[in-house]
Structure 1
Amino acid sequence: MVKAKKAATDVQRRSWLRGAPPPRWVRILPVLLLVGVGVASLTDSVPLDIGFLLGAVPPLAVLAYGPLATALLGAATIGMLTIPFFNLDRPGNTDLVTLGFVATLSVFVSFVRGRRDEQLDLERTVAETAQRAIVPDVRRRVGPVRCASLYRAAERGTLVGGDFFDVRTGPHGVRAVLGDVQGHGLSAVATVASVLGAFREAVLDDVDAEAIAARLDRRLVVDSARTEHAELFATAVLLDFTPQGREVRVLACGHPPPILLRGGAVSTLELDPGPPLGLGLADVMSGTAATVALLGEDRLLLASDGVLEARDASGAFYPFAERLTRMTGVGLDQLPDEIWADLSGFAPKIQDDVTLLILTLDDSAPE
């Protein structure tokens, strides 16, 4: 979702039983069975009672072929069973009628499957387009800020879950946000859309991170009021890059603070966090934004709970900062994939959305 490459990876993760095209061995199997039975019947001097295996060819063809190819394979099966040259069991009329019925039924099932596959492909395309509209790709450069990101939704087959992030430029500089709404999966998509919409408006209007947090807080409070017992809330980290200079103001709203990678050192920023968004407290106790001076190669790494709360088989939490010390030499564009590979190896089952956003200032980037 975050990059085209990531979307392609997600498509490849789907098994063929979940909508992906069938693998090559599934397409070869009915042809291989047909040829194998024919060759076995010709190479053995004693007739073999293996004609019954041909009855599996049309149903196997349904898994990978359209109606025409399924009909041709069914006709080839009946032909091989009846041609005396192959000497396959000398089938009676009942056997031929049964096989003919199976072949005809397979053609019909193949036709229905093809129509449903077309409809599912259309629905999947529409769903992916809608989800990408909610959380579009983050550009590699946003003003003077270079960006790298990764997103893995917890709910299989979706591109958007309960995590959200964005990097935008406006009249007051580059702003970034990463957060996590209540819940995950499809049920949280509407809340993610609402929060990101409010953030994109705030980038154009609000002058600092505190004002942006107050706007997001009000948005969630209003949304909660529309639905009884909704209780919508979200945690977030807001970054406000100064238009000039190498400073960034960081405000945490119930979310773990970013991690600073400086040379070979890894440290967690010390912040005075405010409450989560959506509780109606942003105007009262919004927390204090900390100003961080960034050096030439400094990188700020923001992560969601799916990273910080992942556990191994023994129940131990993923030691994120400790693991990052081994990756300080990895390039910005490669770092998200490196972290994902390490996290996947550490935690056998990741049950929450995984989101990473890595930002660094680049003075050579066009404004």
Structure 2
Amino acid sequence: MVKPRKAATGAYRRSWLSGAPPPRWVRVLPVLLLVGVGVASFTDSVPVDIGFLLGAVPPLAVLAYGPLATAFLGAATIGLLTIPFFHLDRPGNTDLFTLGFVATLCVFVSFVRGRRDQQLDLERTVAETAQRAIVPDVRRRVGSVRCASLYRAAERGTLVGGDFFDVRPGPHGVRAVLGDVQGHGLSAVATVASVLGAFREAVLDDVDAESIAARLDRRLVVDSARTEHAELFATAVLLDFAPHGREVRVLACGHPPPVLLRGGAVSTVELDPGPPLGLGLADVTPGTAATVSLLPGDRLLLASDGVLEARDASGAFYPFVERLARMTGVGLDRLPDEIWADLSRFTPEIQDDVTLLILSLDPSGPG
């Protein structure tokens, strides 16, 4: 079963001013104004010179309604002003012509807005489909490994930035990767696609984490050579779960090591890291993979720079390990959201892609 990708929250939620459907109060406002003025015209305590408020009805209708509804509300506005029963202002011909012109113009604007929104929705759907194909949702279980993840791109309106992660089964066991390419936002998407494509091929062919790292390094070197002054590079952590047993080999390539949650204790995995990928050094000065023996219930947590280098208003770094010590009792599936909520409270503004990948070995399950 694939865990559905959750909608972004907080600063990442798309507002109605950014293309989301308008809230209910925006749709109710022109109708409420129209009805309110009509009812008020029968009240002796309210002066009768409030008809000018009806001039706001057609422009307000444009924000939430299509051409037909906007035309109906515009006609209702003119009718309300001209029907003697409501005794509103007794407008002159110039006023009525002006209001009629504004209402007609609002109908045209509503038509243009509707066509534009349809085109934007189509483009957004295509973009989201392409982005999800690059970084798909991680399954809750891959072989004998239970997984939980969270991804928040720093660039608003996008699902993919400069971070990447994946968990894949292969003939040599389950492999996982989490990393960060040079830059973030849409400019880094092509590099992310290239790195993840190389990783998915390496899972099927290469026998260990060092070989996978060398393949990713070569991929970036080749891509960088195609573009003048590109200098593409990436940091990454590779995990190689043994097909049988409770061991995982961990290799860091210029990226901070994973954090191990064991019972109520939190510790950083000790590694001899290698250079970042893309420098052409993976075969020359490779890092040394560390073998970690996992106990039942142990969880390995991988995080991107957006978490580890987040700062509060005073400039202090987010104390990741210390904060995790307070969350050791949180379940695997809920832990990414708990960390995200805590990070959002700590830092006033998220300025980098935030990625979390939590893995736990469970050989008793299916797979």
Report if TM-score (shorter chain) is over 0.5.
Answer: yes
Give the TM interval when normalised to the shorter protein.
Answer: over 0.9
Which residue of structure 2 aligns with residue 349 of structure 1? 349
For residue 328 of structure 2, what is the aligned residue in structure 1? 328
Question: In structure 2, what residue type is equivalent to 1:190?
Answer: A
Residue in 2 aligned with 1:233? 233
Q: TM-score, normalised by structure 2?
A: 0.98
Aligned residues: percent identity? 90
8 Å Cα contact 2:12/2:157 also seen in 1: no
Are the equivalent residues in 2 in contact too, given 1:11–1:20 (CA < 8 A)?
no
Q: How far does residue 36 in structure 1 lie from its aligned partner after superposition?
A: 1.0
Question: How is 1:1-367 mapped onto 2 (pairs within 5 angstroms)?
Answer: 3-7=3-7, 13-44=13-44, 47-367=47-367
Contact 2:3 2:140 in 1 (8 A): no
- What stretches of structure 2 of length at least 5 have no aligned partner? none
Distance 2:45 2:288 in 1: 89
Return the alpha-carbon distance in structure 2 between the equivalents of residues 78 and 35 of structure 1: 13
**Deviation of residue 41 (structure 1)?**
1.2
Change (3 A) 1:8 1:155: closer
Off by >6 Å, runs of 4+ in structure 1: none
In 1, distance between residues paired with 2:44 and 2:286?
A: 84
Alpha-carbon offset, residue 325 of structure 1: 0.5
Checking the alignment, whether the CA contact within 8 Å between 2:249 and 2:289 is kept in structure 1 is yes
The one-letter code of the counterpart of 2:188 is A
Given the superposition, is the C-alpha separation of residues 3 and 113 from structure 1 closer, same or farther in structure 2, using an over 3 Å criterion?
Answer: farther
Once residues 33 and 4 of structure 1 are traced to their aligned partners in structure 2, the CA distance between those partners, rounded to angstroms, is 41
Letter in 1 for 2:271: L
SS at match of 2:276: coil
Q: Distance in 2 between matches of 1:85 and 1:47?
A: 15
Offset at 1:48?
2.1
Which secondary structure does the structure 2 equivalent of 1:243 belong to?
coil
Contact 1:182 1:188 in 2 (8 A): yes
The answer to whether the Cα contact below 8 Å between 2:171 and 2:204 also exists between their aligned partners in 1 is: yes
In the alignment, the residues of structure 1 paired with residue 337 and residue 344 of structure 2 have an alpha-carbon distance, to the nearest angstrom, of 10
Shift of 1:324: 0.3
Q: Which deviations, in whole Å up to 9, do the C-alpha atoms of 1:68-98 show, x marking residues without a partner?
A: 1000000000000111111111100000000
Asked whether the equivalents of residues 177 and 236 of structure 1 are also in contact (C-alpha less than 8 Å), the reply is: yes
Distance in 2, matches of 1:84 and 1:194, equals 71
- The DSSP-based 3-state class of the residue aligned with 1:42 is coil
Mapped contact 1:78–1:100 kept (Cα < 8 A): yes
Decide whether the 8 Å contact of 1:145 with 1:359 is kept in 2: yes
CA contact (8 A) 2:40 2:46 kept: no
1:308 is displaced (CA, Å) by 0.3
Q: Which amino acid aligns with 2:250?
A: V
Whole-angstrom distance in 2 between the partners of 1:81 and 1:251: 76
Would you say the 8 A contact 1:199–1:216 is kept in 2? yes
In 2, Cα distance between the equivalents of 1:302 and 1:62?
Answer: 47
- The answer as to whether partners of 1:224 and 1:232 remain within 8 angstroms in 2 is yes
1:10: Cα distance to partner?
A: 8.7
Residues 304-334 of structure 1, C-alpha deviations (whole Å, 9 max, x = no match): 0000000001000000000000000000000
Kept in 2: contact 1:10–1:157 (CA 8 A): no
Partner secondary structure for residue 342 of structure 2: helix
Superposition RMSD on alpha carbons, in Å? 1.3
> How far is the alpha carbon of 1:180 from its aligned partner?
0.2
TM-score of the superposed pair, with normalisation by structure 1: 0.98
Give the letter for the 1:36 counterpart.
G
